[in-house]
Amino acid sequence: MQIIYHEISPDALALDLVTSELIIPIHKALHQSIKASQPDLPEQFVSRCISSIAGQILHFIRFRDIIMGYSNITSEQQFIDEMTEHITTFSLQGIGSKDYALCLCTYPLHNIYFHKFPGGFG
């Protein structure tokens, strides 16, 4: 995670790589899911929703131990499952979707952000 934080900072060395291999694919997947749920949303609003989702994910990663401590979550898997469900439900409600069965995570976000990224952070 530290590598990602560094590579999205102003003095990043591999920002282009992080952007092309991580940020853009996730943005596209989320954009597709949001538009499937709410096709009439303006593009700028959709992009802001994606930024909000990313912010939620980063928050739960950064403060995982603290959140697990005060919320009586006892296992990593429980944390992953509960936070993935929360972010999905909260975000779907935020975009005005009534389709809570739609999984916002067509790109397996719970694996990328909360567990293991194929490149090895987690």
Is the pLDDT at 110 greater than 90? The verdict is no
Q: Picking from 53-62, 66-75, 83-92, 109-118, which range would have the lowest pLDDT averaged per residue?
A: 109-118
Asked if residue 20 has pLDDT above 60, the reply is yes
Report whether pLDDT(114) > 50.
no
Helix H, strand E, coil C: the string for the chain is CHHHHHHCCCCCCCHHHHHHHHHHHHHHHHHHHHHHHCCCCCHHHHHHHHHHHHHHHHHHHHCHHHHHHHCCCCCHHHHHHHHHHHHHHHHHHHCCCCCCCCCCCCCCHHHHHCCCCCCCCC
pLDDT value, residue 5: 59
| 3-11 contacts, C-beta under 8 A, 24 or more apart | 3/121, 4/121
The pTM of the full predicted model, rounded to 2 decimals, is 0.68
CA distance 49 to 94: 8
Query: Which of 59-63, 64-68, 106-110 shows the lowest mean pLDDT across its residues?
Result: 106-110
